[in-house]
Amino acid sequence: MGIFSFLTQELAIDLGTANTIIIHNDKVVVDEPSIVAIDQATNKLIAIGEKARQMHGKTHENIKTIRPLRDGVIADFHAAELMIRGMIKMINSKPQLFSPSLRMVVCIPSGSTEVEVRAVRDSSEHAGGRDVYLIYEPMAAAIGIGIDVEAPTGSMVVDIGGGTTEIAVIALGGIVCNKSIRVAGDSFTADIQAYMRHQHNIKIGERTAEDIKINVGSALTDLDDPPPDYIVRGPNLMTAMPIEIPISYQEIAHCLDKSISKVETAILGVLEQTPPELYADIVNTGIYLAGGGALLRGLDKRLSDKISIPFHVAEDPLHAVARGTGIALKNVDRFSFLMR
Ligand SMILES: Nc1ncnc2c1ncn2[C@@H]1O[C@H](COP(=O)(O)OP(=O)(O)OP(=O)(O)O)[C@@H](O)[C@H]1O
Ligand SMILES: [Mg+2]
């Protein structure tokens, strides 16, 4: 490594409600759940990422697990800072590698308030960023999908993350219209938890509900390639005795229907605001889905049928925003939409 690459280190960070991804030298170097475990007495960090996730829901009074982001924004500033700092440290054991000038591009939800933007910038700077740029998430998603965001053509991106669904129309290097709703992967998981309680009298935690979503989650009650039923184990709410229940994807499709309808309504709302020339472009090329929520079975088909515009799931949708943030990092001098 030459002296100059030592002087300027560059990181792209997708600080997500569910997952944090860091790209360094075009490679994904960190891909961890956005969660930390903290010692209650000393406020010191015990574990970060996957290690902390394994403790989630299983802690005693001395340990607390915290998800520093809620609904796409930093909810716990101290925990967020510990998490970013810790994840940067995971890249290389020598922390001084990233001084004296660490350039970062970090993405933020398009609906962020000034205070929320400030929180991301401050956490990034406290974690060692000297030269911090911010980029709106749907813009990063579009770049990551491979869309030419500077072209005079309209593109629509729907990023369904853990905390928020972000819908945006992009043209000429800017966001023309957008909407961010707090209905996304976490809401689907909460729907499943509530459904299991009401329908099957079984109490399950967030992690089990997420496993159900990943194994038999569906947006349609009729899938071409249906997954087998998923066996859920837990305590009966009445008797506290263990029970086993097979769960079908059809049940989960019913259970998620209301939340998915909210996503549909939000997409239609943005289409309504879209200027006609851009609308025509979007009908031609279709709408792109990114974020972990895009992996829900049958979602692209359900949205295409409902909205009468084709929906395409981005390649590797969980990494689209991070990929785009990485590309933005290499173009900080050219992309005028990056915020300093
Ligand atoms: N196969 C799958 N089917 C359905 N949902 C999935 C699947 N895989 C992951 N998810 C969900 O995707 C969500 C995480 O997506 P992603 O990493 O894009 O969110 P994020 O960027 O951390 O959140 P945000 O952008 O809202 O801050 C989680 O809710 C997770 O449960
Ligand atoms: Mg995201």
C-alpha of residue 69 to centroid of ligand 1, in Å: 13
| pTM attached to this predicted model | 0.94
Fold adopted by 186-255: Actin; Chain A, domain 4 (3.90.640)
Instruction: Provide residues with CB under 6 Å of ligand 1.
Output: 16-19, 72, 161-164, 184-186, 210, 213-214, 217, 291-293, 295-296, 318
Q: Do 3-140+321-330 and 145-183+258-315 share a fold?
A: yes
Inform me whether the pLDDT recorded for 101 exceeds 60: yes
Digit-coded pLDDT (tens) for 193-237 = 999 999 999 999 999 999 999 999 999 999 999 999 999 999 999
Inform me whether the pLDDT recorded for 289 exceeds 60: yes
On whether the CB atoms of residues 267 and 167 are closer than 8 A, the answer is yes
Inform me whether the pLDDT recorded for 283 exceeds 90: yes
**Closest-lying ligand to the alpha carbon of 184?**
1
C-alpha of residue 17 to centroid of ligand 2, in Å: 7
Q: What is the DSSP string of 135-185?
A: EEHHHHHHHHHT--TTSSS-EEEEEE-SS-EEEEEEETTEEEEEEEES-SH
C-alpha of residue 211 to centroid of ligand 1, in Å: 12
Pocket test for ligand 1, best of 14, 15, 17, 70 (most atoms within 8 A of CB): 17
Residue nearest to atom 21 of ligand 1 (CA): 16
> Cα separation of 229 and 237, whole Å?
22
209: buried, middle or exposed (CB in 10 Å: 19+, 13-18, 0-12)? buried
On whether the CB atoms of residues 138 and 193 are closer than 8 A, the answer is no
Q: Which CATH superfamily is domain 145-183+258-315 in?
A: ATPase, nucleotide binding domain (3.30.420.40)
C-alpha of residue 68 to centroid of ligand 2, in Å: 14
Digit-coded pLDDT (tens) for 110-135 = 988 999 999 999 989 988 888 999 99
C-alpha of residue 169 to centroid of ligand 1, in Å: 21
Which of helix, strand or coil describes residue 260?
Answer: helix
What are the extents of the domains in the chain? 3-140+321-330, 145-183+258-315, 186-255
Residue nearest to atom 19 of ligand 1 (CA): 161
Neighbours of ion ligand 2 (CB under 5 A): 16, 161
Sign of CA dihedral 220, 287, 143, 325: negative
For 23, phi then psi, to 5°, come to: -115, 130
Residue nearest to atom 10 of ligand 1 (CA): 292
Digit-coded pLDDT (tens) for 66-96 = 999 998 899 998 999 999 999 998 886 555 5
Tell me the pLDDT band of 5, cut-offs 50, 70 and 90.
very low
Indicate the class that CATH gives domain 3-140+321-330: alpha beta
Inform me whether the pLDDT recorded for 290 exceeds 70: yes
User: What per-residue confidence (pLDDT) applies to 4?
Assistant: 45
Residue nearest to atom 15 of ligand 1 (CA): 292
Atom number of ligand 1 nearest to Cα 291: 18
C-alpha of residue 142 to centroid of ligand 2, in Å: 12
184 Cβ contact partners less than 8 Å away, ≥ 6 residues apart: 17, 160, 161, 162, 163, 164, 165, 291, 293
C-alpha of residue 317 to centroid of ligand 2, in Å: 10
